[in-house]
């Protein structure tokens, strides 16, 4: 964990609002994932935080990447370009999966030159891929339970289990090869049974495909959803990993390659914000602090990710429940209505947040003219 004095020193040097990315923590999170899921290749979900320096650190650590747009694809491809030419094509398959099931025709035409691995979940997408990206390898995205996930992802993407094998055979008839299956149990999934149900569903579809004569699948992408311990209500990752390992060993032969798409899990703990108090008021008897970062910037995950971030103070003092607002004039710009902070904080004092590396700066804007926080990298 980054030393708090380091955060203060960086804020003094660079000003606020400040967003700090600790690359040593990135490496620790990746190592933790690999240690407890040794059979699973981690494809970092770039959308969680597409910062190129983050991608570079994880690339050097051995990670692969899940992308959902061509800009994300090119962030990763920049590192692949450094490989010997004869190895690059194999590296694209080993290092990138284009995991957005719905792709524009222009995107498919651009992807075709890379012979990429892409997901799909419907017949129309099969026809689009056949026409615009016939060199692609396909992975069928399945609809699976997302019960209890912080962000539900099954209503927009995923083929129903009952139509899965029909879609696989339809793709084959169109001259395409379905390499395997994928699913996503929902972001920040604390209901571990989602993984159990999804793995068993995928195993049943594998069996049905073989029974109906399709034997070309050799990979399974178990998606993301690996939860971050924002608080003690979230069970340790080790418990989830033990459950996943047991089910994979029971359901899938060793020749099946297992992929996963951790995003939040790899990057959340590596991000910190440091903000300055720019206003203080009492409204309806309640203490309110205004800081120079908010939901349109580093705290955008409150809106888009349904996440809550704890605001902490470097200064000690008697605490009370207060409201913390961002700097814009929009009433939506509320970071917390029930934050426990010292009542003696003054204008210019600094506050900070931990575990804010995922889905924060990724969706930041410059609404109301307030620029995003300056990003500083440490332990690179």
Residues carrying an active site annotation = 329
| Residue pair 261/223 in contact by the 8 Å Cβ criterion | yes
Q: Compute the half-sphere exposure of residue 69: CA atoms within 13 Å on the CB side of its CA.
A: 7
Question: What's the CA gap between 13 and 11, in Å, rounded?
Answer: 5
Q: How far is CA 93 from CA 3, 58, 271, in A?
A: 39, 17, 29
Supply 243's token pair: 């459950």
């Amino acid at each position: 964990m980054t030393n708090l004095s380091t955060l203060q020193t960086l804020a003094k040097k660079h000003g606020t609002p400040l967003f700090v990315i600790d690359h040593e923590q990135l490496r620790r999170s990746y190592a933790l994932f690999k240690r407890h899921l040794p059979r699973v290749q981690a494809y970092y979900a770039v959308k969680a935080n597409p910062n190129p320096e983050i991608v570079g650190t994880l690339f050097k650590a051995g990670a692969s990447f899940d992308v959902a747009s061509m800009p994300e694809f090119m962030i990763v491809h920049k590192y692949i370009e450094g490989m010997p030419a004869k190895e690059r094509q194999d590296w694209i398959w080993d290092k990138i999966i284009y995991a957005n099931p719905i792709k524009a025709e222009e995107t498919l035409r651009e992807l075709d030159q890379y012979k990429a691995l892409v997901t799909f979940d419907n017949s129309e997408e099969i026809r689009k891929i056949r026409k615009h990206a016939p060199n692609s390898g396909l992975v069928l995205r399945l609809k699976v339970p997302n019960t209890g996930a912080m962000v539900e992802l099954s209503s927009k993407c995923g083929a129903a289990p009952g139509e899965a094998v029909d879609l696989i055979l339809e793709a084959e008839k169109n001259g395409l090869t379905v390499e395997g299956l994928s699913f996503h149990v929902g972001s920040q999934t604390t209901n571990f049974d989602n993984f159990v149900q999804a793995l068993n569903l995928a195993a049943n579809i594998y069996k049905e495909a073989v029974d109906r004569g399709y034997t070309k699948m050799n990979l399974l992408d178990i998606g993301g959803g690996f939860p971050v311990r924002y608080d003690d209500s979230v069970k340790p990752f080790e418990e989830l990993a033990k459950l996943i390992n047991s089910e994979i060993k029971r359901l899938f032969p060793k020749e099946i390659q297992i992929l996963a798409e951790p995003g939040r899990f790899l990057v959340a703990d590596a991000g910190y914000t440091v903000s300055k108090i720019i206003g203080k008021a009492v409204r309806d008897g309640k203490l309110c602090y205004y800081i120079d970062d908010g939901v349109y910037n580093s705290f955008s995950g409150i809106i888009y990710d349904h996440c809550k971030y704890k605001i902490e103070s470097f200064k000690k003092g008697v605490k009370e429940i207060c409201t913390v607002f961002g700097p814009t004039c929009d009433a939506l710009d509320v970071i917390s209505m029930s934050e426990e902070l010292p009542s003696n904080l003054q204008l210019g004092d600094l506050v900070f947040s931990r575990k804010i590396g995922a889905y924060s700066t990724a969706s930041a804007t410059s609404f109301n003219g307030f620029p995003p926080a300056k990003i500083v990298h440490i332990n690179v």
